[in-house]
Structure 1
């Protein structure tokens, strides 16, 4: 078993009833698939006022005047407010990234614009009334006189001399410049045999969750309750306290069922603050629900990087250094995290490769567009994309097989401290690539590929692309991310409370806030194995700041490696106390008590046992407890990891490209991921499938596009091409298992892994298919038009 395995077994991690590792059906699904789940828009409170928001049609303009009289005079309209009415707010939306030694320009960002707008869709006024349709009509009668200003939507153009300045107080459109480096980068390039350079565009996308954002606020007896479709109820309570200027203990935030987030609900948006303020102002509940157009226009977008990449290498294919300059379009304002997201690109910009030197310089830029922030992967898909497409290009330039170049440079010793200071905790990059190739049968594919290329009657080209990736996730640790490290103003622990009820059932209160991940199931499995009961007897409670301890919510693939570890530790505390009670009742030593086959029993004497329900009876009727032991079975854990976790894997994508139309079809997808021991394999497969589809959308179809006037062109699902089941293949998934030493579960996140891995595999596959035609690179999205144009250009 080995020392690590023996220690794990001794602690019961995982063990007990053997539920951990089983592909159990999700506990959440019955209520979700039968329509019994409750979302924000399902909630109705007596006397509710509905909010309709007046939004700017201008991308950049001064507000000369706002006339609300016609709207306010309409029947059924309770009130109309503008930004000038909200002068009692204590603070604008705080931005929580304050990196030591780096100046970051942060304009005031209020729920309703004050004096000026910076993007199409910015909120200018709010209309409240008792009829949800009447307020929409009334909003159209709010007359706003705008004085248009010059618009800039291209981040590189925004940095040039003479560009329109979006926030005059800064005198520049540059938000910040930030660098992370290690090793002698300049020397490596000076001595290199080969220097490969490339400009990579990672375009703007939308999270496009199936449930648009929404909020319902009620103010009662000087206490605020806000129901919100949010990923971060605990963080939201803190932010609302700051903005509204009211004590945190008088605020309750509830995230009911949340219909997807993908990072797009990792905010406290102006609409949440606005509904809360309006509820206090009117004394009535206030509800706002985004339309799909609202959601596309005003929910933050993701990606939108331009990456200038240089790689230094020897002629034999030894990678020496990578130097990347990132131009990040930040939009016109920040939300709570905004500018920090591109810095996560720097964490894994060197990927799975053993570079001697690494440097990433990131320049954030204001443009007249909505904010960019975290969308599934948050800076890390950009890193994997740029390194993986560049590795393929470098292999072509060196005349080395693409996979051979990867293998020559894989990191193989773990834990491994990289030049820029991060410590990769675990890895087996050869193992995931080997399994991927075993499933693919590359030799067989190449034979089929040549046969297709030799058929003059079929203008279809087949290609295969690969992506070998590593991900940084499991946010914390606080010491690395906090004020003295990365500069985030907060801690990145996670919390859990495990409460055994007097009759033996179990309540788990988690500080994470799931919204589709299946955490009610996986966390129940963790607890069930430690306490000797079935997962159905474990109720997982989340998303309500009035229950359980303060937590840091769900994002950054942290819910299992940090939140699940907190749950496991709290369950172990309960287990330890239960063992003391059992040992006392059965006249044994606590160290001789084990949890097995659904009971607490004496080792070697299985007939001497107690069920958890029997233990609970003793704990809550404390007539005969061990001396010094308090009544009850209720424990809390706060877990702050020592390191991030580093999942990794290899993906292969097979495409067919129609040279006459440019259409790309994915015909096969193989995903081999390593996220440590599987708590529930079914949940992992679901996350991998969804993550891959997310990346397929960006690579082939999805694009948020603004015209030169700052108007959003792709603002509906008619224009914004989300993939459907018809566009995606059946996924072939497999796993290797490398334990993380960072947590006792050994787990690593998987919710973003496939999104981080997938886009370069698609691009590399298309380039492989079109290599005979002379096509060497195409930027995403690889639409039919873009691919066809690339083919025609290569023919010239």
Structure 2
């Protein structure tokens, strides 16, 4: 890995540095505390019986054999949970525009019919997990199959609805400018249809939940959900309990990426069973369950057109999108649909837009946000359109993009677009300037020369490019607190979630700078509603800005209180005091000082009562932010294709971003590299495939391919800090997703370039079999032979059964 950075911002002791991740001290030593590490005396085990049909009525459920098995304590079916209804969609604003949204929510257990393979139909609670699994296999369910809908375009127009309200619970239309006039006046109109396959985040830790009831108070203590405050709000509503009676407890999270963030049916079932039995209940899913039950992601179809003038400047963009949400709406949807339609414009100066998105339901596992939601998909479609325009107009693919990028002269760029209830306002940066710097930093001319030389030798090597713009900081507020104990250690409490992104380290850096101490004396606590009564969580690259903003305010208040108290204790004016290295001292007299711990110890309950003030040293804060920030950059990929096998090697990988202000370079680099790996997975490997009956074909890592360390290339990155955002006190822009957003587009362009420049890639991921076929066609076209003449002996080994594609029905 190599990094290039340009910055004119002054460095501060911790913020802007390379502080090692604090959380790694326990995680890398095997001392993490995950949900399966929660062992409660007498805990029972829950097993879920899942639908084996994609669309069917339930004609009968026989649970007698399971109930009679010794050690089985409870069996529940949909009739037992009918009163719980469906899991409501999180209240973030969409109910106003779509008042029937909750009717498309996921039932706790299937009632009367099932809509996807893997849908929970019944649960068994027994004295140990093995007995629970044995008993679950004794539950017999009879199904009467119904027609299966898999293709979102077909489902949107299908006359037989999956739900009483139809198959399209939401539709978004984003428009500005005069699109019709622009297309009428265009010198060139370019159109294409592009597909993004269904895949998801694959965390090392699967979902799990442990609930301990307190029957005397009708309270539940719960471990497992990722975003504890949001999950508690939803689950309390379903269970008919006050939120204060659901007490969420902290565990480490072995990966999230957005897909584990919701209030899942299984969590509610664990809580409901524990409440009925008055005993602790535990559920840990296996990987097969995870592949059919976790939130899926992506899967969109774009029919996109661009109007261009004679020089390749875009005049207008038109896009109709079908977004396959699976069988039910889940979590905060249709948020990803909204973001997709709004962010389709990317980092370009597009004078007019018409985007219409259909949020469609089918007989697949429900969908939710996954790292870069809506941006990976929309960027692939838009960047493929630019590649197609470049080919049809005879313009270099990089040149046509440079002609259309936003510059500082365009700011603020406010075309009249709304994204997630916020007016789109790009107010800091110069995309053209950044991209030109990035191309120089990557030495892209050398990439071109290298690929040309390889092709002259008969090798299939090509380069691809993708431009990206992200949106970050979604969610209006976050909570935070700082507490100084008498020993001098600092506790930082946050409503954010630690999901592997390094938020404990970042918050420690921010607070350390404000209190002039080392991050080593700071403990960051989260995921516990008794310690942090309210919060939002970590998603949409929001943690650094919002959680960091709250921690910063709390630390400033704590510093001010320390100076005020020390002025009385030292009998000095506040203006004559300074806080340095964790001690308050009289300026010029370092011998006259008090540590923060000493101030906290001396200002005990008795002293505070006499002074008429709150005891202790610390403060609470809420950070409000009603403006998202927009990082941007470029992704470059060089790939080599082996025409005899369909194999590929990513020879070079480069990604850039304008960061505004980097809080921690180590964690930022880690975020970029990790995101790049997931982007490569979505471009070349990962896809949930189904047969025509809706049976999933990718339920293990034998069928669902994920990129391994062997195939992930060295990731080179270029980070600038030239355009701090004015929307937060750090000037920082969210960087958790920039590494993957344009990977699919760049990989597709590189494949086309490697195979002779013809426009071939219309969908991702590009599976080995598809790549093999395209490579054979390219080689046949080059030397005059037919496709059947090329590498025919290799064909049998490549007949991998990929099933029906997600959008081919």
Tell whether the structures are fold-level matches, with TM greater than 0.5. Answer: yes
Pick aligned residue for 1:747 from 719, 726, 732: 732
Q: Which moved more, 1:403-412 or 1:84-93?
A: 84-93
Residue 222 (structure 1) shift: 3.0
Matches of 1:288 and 1:621, distance apart in 2: 43
Q: Indicate the residue corresponding to 2:694 in structure 1.
A: 710
Q: Does 1:70 align with 2:65?
A: yes
Written as runs of structure 1 = structure 2, the 5 A alignment for 1:482-631 is 492-586=476-570, 589-591=573-575, 593-602=577-586, 609-620=593-604, 630-631=614-615
Counterpart contact for 1:509–1:549, Cα < 8 Å: no
* Contact 2:222-2:246 at 8 Å conserved across structures: no
Partner of 1:470: 469
Matched, 1:294 2:289: yes
Q: How many residues of Structure 1 are paired with residues of Structure 2 in the alignment? A: 763
Residues 1:110 and 2:107 are matched in the alignment? yes
1:654 maps to what in 2?
A: 638
Q: After alignment, is 408-417 or 192-201 more displaced?
A: 408-417
3-state SS of 2:198 partner: strand
Question: Residue 324 of structure 1 aligns to a residue in which SS?
Answer: strand
CA distance in 1, matches of 2:524, 2:685: 37
TM superposition shift of 1:430: 3.1
Is the counterpart of residue 387 in structure 1 residue 382 in structure 2? yes
Q: What SS does structure 1 have at the residue aligned with 2:741? A: helix
Contact kept, 8 Å, 2:71 with 2:126, in 1: the verdict is yes
Distance 1:761 1:647, change over 3 A: same
Picking from 149, 152, 168, the partner of 2:149 is 152
2:337 pairs with 342, 345, 363, which one? 342
Task: Indicate whether 1:285 and 2:264 are aligned.
Answer: no
* 1:722-733 alignment, distance < 5 Å: 722-733=706-717
Please tell me whether residue 206 in structure 1 is matched to residue 208 in structure 2: no
TM-score by length of 1: 0.92
The within-5 A match list for 1:267-278 is 267-278=262-273
Q: 1:671 to 1:589 in 2, by over 3 A?
A: farther
- The CA deviation at 1:555 is 0.7
Q: Is the alpha carbon distance of 1:686 and 1:23 closer, same or farther for their aligned partners in structure 2, counting shifts above 3 Å?
A: same
Q: SS where residue 656 of structure 2 aligns?
A: strand
Does the CA contact (< 8 Å) of 1:498 and 1:636 recur in 2? yes
- 5 Å-filtered alignment, 1:116-265, equals 116-162=113-159, 164-167=160-163, 169-170=164-165, 172-220=166-214, 221-265=216-260
Distance 1:319 1:108, change over 3 A: closer
Residue 100 of structure 1 and its aligned partner are, at CA, apart by 3.8
**Matching residue of 2:744:** 759
CA distance in 2, matches of 1:606, 1:418: 56
Q: 2:451–2:463: 8 Å Cα contact kept in structure 1?
A: no
Q: Distance in 2 between matches of 1:579 and 1:369?
A: 59
SS at 2:297's partner residue?
strand
Using the TM superposition, give the Cα deviation of residue 160 of structure 1 relative to its aligned residue in structure 2, in angstroms: 3.4
Aligned match of 2:807: none
Change in CA separation of 1:251 and 1:100 when aligned onto 2, cut-off 3 Å: closer
Residues 159 and 430 of structure 1: is their aligned pair in 2 closer, same or farther, counting only changes over 3 Å? closer
> Counterparts of 2:173 and 2:18 in 1: how far apart (Å)?
43
* Paired residues of 2:89 and 2:333 also in contact (CA < 8 A): no
Pairwise CA RMSD:
2.3
Pair 1:622–1:649, CA change in 2 (3 A): farther
Unaligned runs of 5+ in 1: 477-491
Alignment deviations for residues 631-653 of structure 1 (CA, whole Å, 9 cap, x no partner): 42221111120310111222211
**What's the secondary structure of 1:327's corresponding residue?**
strand
1:27 maps to 2:15:
no
> Would the alpha carbon gap of residues 757 and 620 (structure 1) be closer, same or farther in structure 2, given more than 3 Å must change?
farther
Aligned to 1:735: 719
- Please say if residues 197 and 308 of structure 1, whose CA atoms lie closer than 8 Å, have aligned partners that are also in contact: yes
Describe the shift of the 1:600–1:674 C-alpha distance in structure 2 as closer, same or farther (beyond 3 A): farther
Secondary structure in structure 2 of the residue aligned to 1:760: helix
TM-score under structure 2 length normalisation = 0.90
Deviates more, 1:438-447 or 1:558-567: 438-447
Deviates more, 1:407-416 or 1:729-738: 407-416
CA distance in 2, matches of 1:370, 1:379: 18
Aligned counterparts of 2:581 and 2:81: Cα–Cα separation in 1: 61
The 1-side partners of 2:158 and 2:119 are apart by 27
Which stretch shifts more, 110-119 or 219-228? 219-228
Q: Take 1:228 and 1:578, find their aligned partners in 2: how far apart are those partners?
A: 36
Contact 1:506 1:538 in 2 (8 A): yes
CA contact (8 A) 2:104 2:169 kept: no
After superposition, the Cα gap between the structure-2 partners of 1:91 and 1:198, relative to the gap in structure 1 and judged at 3 Å, is closer
8 Å contact kept, 2:607–2:615? no
Structure 1 residue 692: deviation in Å?
A: 0.4
Distance 1:91 1:777 in 2: 40
Shift of 1:425: 3.2
Quickly say closer, same or farther: Cα 1:280–1:630, change in 2 above 3 A. Answer: closer
Cα pair distance change 1:677/1:622, threshold 3 Å:
farther
Alignment CA distance shift 1:344-1:592 (3 Å):
farther
Following TM superposition, by how much is the alpha carbon of 1:703 offset from its aligned partner in structure 2, in angstroms?
Answer: 0.6
1:90 and 1:584 map into 2 onto residues whose CA distance is 59
Alignment CA distance shift 1:613-1:353 (3 Å) = same
Distance 1:595 1:741, change over 3 A: farther
Match of 1:310 in 2: 305
- Judge which range, 139-148 or 217-226, deviates more: 217-226
8 Å CA contact 1:435, 1:672 repeated in 2: no
Cα distance in structure 2, aligned partners of 1:155 and 1:74:
43
Distance 2:158 2:494 in 1: 51
- CA shift, 1:125, in A, is 0.8
Whether the aligned pair in 2 keeps the contact of 1:93 and 1:110 (CA below 8 Å) is: no
Shift of 1:623: 5.0
Cα distance in 2 for residues equivalent to 1:161 and 1:688: 41
Q: Is the CA contact 1:616–1:633 (under 8 Å) kept in the aligned structure 2?
A: yes
Residue 98 of structure 1: which of 91, 94, 98 is its match? 94
Unaligned runs of 5+ in 2: 1-6, 418-422, 787-809
Is the 2:156–2:358 Cα contact (8 Å) retained in structure 1?
no
79 and 677 in structure 1: CA distance in 2 versus 1, 3 angstrom threshold = same
